[in-house]
Structure 1
């Protein structure tokens, strides 16, 4: 199962970065390139423990829907979102926020995912998803960073 980790330095305190990371509007703005939007569950404001949201986006020319739940939540240290239904066999995204000792935050994303369809999914992981998913998350993190640092 593919795993990757992305670390992003943010010049804002963990409480602020944690809060911004859970804002539906920040997420949708960060994914504007794929037209991602929240279409069910919590569709605006800040997500909290147990909240679900269904995202709709266009990737690879196809429309995708994924319903995720905030399955773990310990402000301002971390939260986890997991796929309940959608395109992946498994999607587990742990968001960690640690003070950097200078008033900022080290934001660390740990993602585990698996494509469906057995051997065909494994080919898709190696050929496309292993580079596409980290790139997509880096775009999101740059947007979160800018939003958190702006206030």
Structure 2
């Protein structure tokens, strides 16, 4: 259901396991500022349904580390999302990424979380 809430998601490619488990892999097609790219994700931690952690590899040796956590909170559920992106080429690549992308990744992350919130609340 990624396409319903992840703003930059375009397609889900090859998925190694159904259902997903630690060690599973998948390919995700994304678009950011008009540029299409693929990230290959590996599920590196899995304590379902409480926590999962994914490590991804993108173009030019870029990397991402994402985790989702669900916890009971005041009669509901708290969702915690963390996504760290590491640009290729170390500090030089990070500076170039900031210059080219500006605040776009942060805005997309916030829009994604708003979509997820609306989707969850709609089902409640």
Q: Is TM more than 0.5 here?
A: yes
Other-structure match for 2:82: 110
If asked which structure has higher relative contact order (CA below 8 Å, sep 6+), I would say: 1
Q: TM-score, normalised by structure 2?
A: 0.77
CA distance in 1, matches of 2:120, 2:43: 20
Tell me which protein shows more strand as a share of its residues. 2
Tell me if the contact between 1:27 and 1:140 (Cα under 8 Å) persists in the aligned partners.
no
- Match for 1:144 among 95, 98, 116? 116
| Residues 145 and 48 (structure 1), Cα distance of their counterparts in 2 relative to 1, 3 Å cut | farther
Other-structure match for 1:90: 63
How far did 1:67 drift?
Answer: 0.8
Gaps of 5+ in 2: none
Q: Does 1:54 align with 2:1?
A: no
Task: Calculate the aligned-residue CA RMSD, in Å.
Answer: 2.6
Gaps of 5+ in 1: 1-25
Other-structure match for 2:45: 72
